Structures are given as structure tokens and as C-alpha cells.
């Protein structure tokens, strides 16, 4: 398979241009939302909570907000594009060309990664002014940002294929993606939770994405970044298999 084929490049460009043409909604709005979270939570809890020794709460919060923005926007890019194509009927123009299932998946996921990373970089640029951040192990920052965005882009493809209406997609996002993200340690360390909820958090793959990403900044995390990498990679493999099989069988796409 040639992943740089004309078809792949065209679909990738189309998906990237789609969110870039409405940058106020797809890029600026998420950055503003993250800023509001930082100003509210940072103002209320700064000086009252110290999660890691020598790390202020605002500094702890910034990587969590960056990663949360990366994940949510990567999911939104692929899922919204697919549901719009299904409802308007222009999905046929993607299914008719000689594109392999892998090329379709990679194009949607790659564009989702671009949007997630662009929004995450914007959130970091705006919030880093409010805290002193270090880059203890920057490789982990890059690895978890890209892998997390790819996972949510793949999950967005699955959700976009599954949903028939916008309200179904909204339910998928509001009842699965948003709770899983907020309960993944964006605003707190799981060690501050009761034992039962600590155990529950370990079944949330979003926790490993955020914890591993945060480790890259401070060299400290709730669990080993290698453990997080193993869990996140396995989760990605499972989602990729599900997504490619949905595309191969044309589930809810060929009717």
C-alpha cells in the first residue's frame, strides 16, 4: 500500500482544509475554552493544592488542558466530517474512487492529528504564560500527543460511521468522550481519590494518555510512562482493527 498516493493526499488535504476554513470555530473556540478552565481552576486552587513536589497547581493543570484539547478536537474532526458526509450524501465521492480502506482511515486520522496538535499547540502557547513549565522528557510529550490524537481520530471515525444523526454523535461525545477525558486526571492526580476510584481510573485509557503526556513535562507521573505507552498502544491497535473492519464491510456506509 502506498500511503502517499494521490487519493490519500487529496482526502487528507480535503479534511485538513475543511477544519481550517472555519478556524474560528475549530481552533480559536477550543483555545478560549481551555483558557477559561485555566483561569477558573487555577485561580481557585493555586496555592491550595500541590500535586507533585515543587510543581504549582497551575503548572500541573496546563499539560492536562493541552492534552484534553488535543484529544477532544481530534475526535471532533473525524466524527463530524463523516456524519456530515453521510447526512448530505457526499460520502459517495469518497467511496467511489479507488481508495483502500487503510488509505481512507489514515487520511481521516492524519487530518485529526493535525487539528488536535494545532489546537493543543495553541492552548499551550496561551496557557504557558501563567505557569513555569519544564520539559523534563520531551520525547514523551511528542509520543503521547501524536498517539493520543491518532487514537481519538480513529475513535472519531468509528463514531462517525456508527452514528446516523447528529444527536447520536452528540450522545457519543457527551456520554463517553467528555466524561472519560474529565475523569482521566486533567484537573487532579488519581492518588487524591479514594482507593475504589483509583482502581476505576486504571480502566480509563484516557488516563494513561494524559498521565504519560504530563510525565514529559515534569518527569513525574502517577504511573510509569512505559506502562502508559503499552496500554495506549494496545488500545490504538484494537480501535484500528475495529475501524478498518467497519470500513471494509461498509457498515452504515453503503445504503
Taking only the tens place, the pLDDT of each residue in 156-188 is: 999 999 999 999 999 999 999 999 998 898 988
Distance of CA 199 to the CA centre of its chain: 23
Q: Which of 248, 235, 237, 255 is nearest to 104 (CA)?
A: 248
> Once rounded to an integer, what is the mean pLDDT over residues 93-101?
87
Q: Tell me, what's the pLDDT at 48?
A: 66
Q: Which of 41, 11, 38, 16 is nearest to 27 (CA)?
A: 16
Residue 52 inside a domain? The answer is yes
Query: Taking 90 as the threshold, does the pLDDT of residue 117 lie above it?
Result: yes
Residue 6 inside a domain? The answer is no
**Average pLDDT over all residues of the chain:** 91
Residue 17 inside a domain? The answer is no
Share of the chain above pLDDT 90, in %: 69
Residue 14 inside a domain? The answer is no
The 10 Å Cβ neighbour count of residue 139 is: 10
Residue 8 inside a domain? The answer is no
In the chain, the number of structural domains is 1
pTM score = 0.92
Residue 5 inside a domain? The answer is no
Residue 45 inside a domain? The answer is yes
Query: Residue 157 belongs to what domain range?
Result: 23-249
N-to-C CA span, the chain: 27
Higher pLDDT, 29 or 200: 29
Residue 11 inside a domain? The answer is no
250 conformational bin, left if phi > 0, alpha if psi -120 to 50, beta if neither: left
> Once rounded to an integer, what is the mean pLDDT over residues 101-124?
96
Cα separation, 34 vs 65, in Å, equals: 6
Amino acid at each position: 500500500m502506498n500511503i502517499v498516493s494521490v487519493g490519500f493526499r487529496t482526502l487528507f488535504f480535503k479534511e485538513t482544509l475543511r477544519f481550517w476554513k472555519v478556524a474560528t470555530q475549530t481552533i480559536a473556540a477550543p483555545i478560549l475554552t481551555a483558557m477559561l478552565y485555566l483561569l477558573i481552576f487555577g485561580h481557585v486552587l493555586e496555592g491550595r493544592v500541590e500535586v507533585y513536589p515543587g510543581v504549582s497547581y497551575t503548572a500541573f493543570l496546563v499539560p492536562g488542558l493541552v492534552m484534553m484539547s488535543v484529544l477532544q478536537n481530534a475526535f471532533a474532526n473525524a466524527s463530524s466530517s463523516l456524519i456530515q458526509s453521510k447526512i448530505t450524501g457526499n460520502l459517495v465521492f469518497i467511496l467511489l474512487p479507488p481508495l483502500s480502506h487503510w488509505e481512507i482511515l489514515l487520511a481521516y486520522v492524519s487530518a485529526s492529528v493535525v487539528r488536535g496538535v494545532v489546537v493543543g499547540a495553541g492552548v499551550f502557547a496561551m496557557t504557558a504564560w501563567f505557569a513555569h513549565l519544564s520539559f523534563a522528557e520531551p520525547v514523551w510529550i511528542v509520543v503521547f500527543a501524536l498517539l493520543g490524537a491518532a487514537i481519538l481520530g480513529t475513535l472519531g471515525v468509528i463514531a462517525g460511521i456508527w452514528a446516523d444523526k447528529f444527536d447520536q454523535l452528540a450522545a457519543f461525545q457527551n456520554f463517553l468522550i467528555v466524561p472519560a477525558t474529565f475523569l482521566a486526571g486533567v484537573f487532579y492526580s488519581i492518588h487524591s481519590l479514594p482507593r475504589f476510584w483509583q482502581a476505576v481510573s486504571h480502566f480509563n485509557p484516557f488516563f494513561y494518555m494524559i498521565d504519560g503526556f504530563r510525565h514529559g513535562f515534569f518527569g513525574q507521573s502517577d504511573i510509569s510512562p512505559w506502562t502508559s505507552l503499552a496500554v495506549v498502544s494496545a488500545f490504538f491497535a484494537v480501535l484500528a482493527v475495529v475501524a478498518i473492519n467497519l470500513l471494509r464491510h461498509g457498515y452504515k456506509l453503503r445504503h
